[in-house]
């Protein structure tokens, strides 16, 4: 058996730390540059909720914009070919198809290039 006094089985245990008085930092709590407990109580700042994100207006889909652009180009090419056909005096379907190939293909390529350049410059 040891020489230590017996400890109680239940209840409050004794504290093994020394209790010789206040700790060394206790006196620093009374410094004049520290705020008092009751003075200048800061009220909690209200929480600012962010403004709701504005809902964008519905825009036409990309597919409908492309369809509209290409349909404009096709109509433009057909009108240009018709003007050329009238100027050359086309009277048959074979001559019209020849004019369509000779003038329509380069105009289609030019219209496509203009569309691509306009889309990339935005």
- What pLDDT digit, counting tens, does each position of 17-44 carry? 666 777 777 777 777 776 666 655 567 7
Q: Which of 79, 70, 78 is nearest to 111 (CA)?
A: 70
CA 106 → CA 29, 69, 76, 77, distances in Å?
A: 90, 18, 13, 9
Query: pLDDT of 81-90, one tens digit each?
Result: 888 888 888 8
- Spell out the domain ranges in the chain: 85-122
Using CB atoms within 10 A of its CB, is residue 98 exposed (0-12), middle (13-18) or buried (19+)?
A: middle
CA dist 103 to 76, 89, 114, Å? Answer: 12, 15, 17
Q: Quote the pLDDT of residue 9.
A: 62
Alpha carbon of 45 to those of 12, 37, 42, 93, 116: distances in Å? 43, 19, 8, 82, 54
Report percent pLDDT > 70 for the chain: 76
- Reported pTM: 0.41
User: Cβ distance 99 to 82 under 8 Å?
Assistant: no
């Amino acid at each position: 058996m040891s020489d230590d006094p017996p400890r109680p089985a239940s209840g409050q245990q004794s504290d093994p730390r020394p209790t010789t008085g206040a700790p060394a930092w206790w006196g620093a709590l009374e410094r004049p540059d520290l705020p008092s407990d009751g003075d200048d109580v800061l009220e909690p700042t209200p929480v600012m909720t962010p403004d709701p994100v504005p809902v964008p207006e519905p825009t036409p889909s990309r597919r409908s914009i492309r369809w509209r652009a290409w349909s404009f180009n096709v109509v433009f090419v057909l009108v240009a070919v018709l003007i050329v056909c009238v100027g050359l005096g086309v009277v048959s379907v074979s001559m019209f198809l020849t004019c369509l190939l000779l003038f329509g293909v380069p105009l289609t390529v030019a219209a496509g290039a203009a569309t691509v350049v306009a889309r990339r410059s935005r």
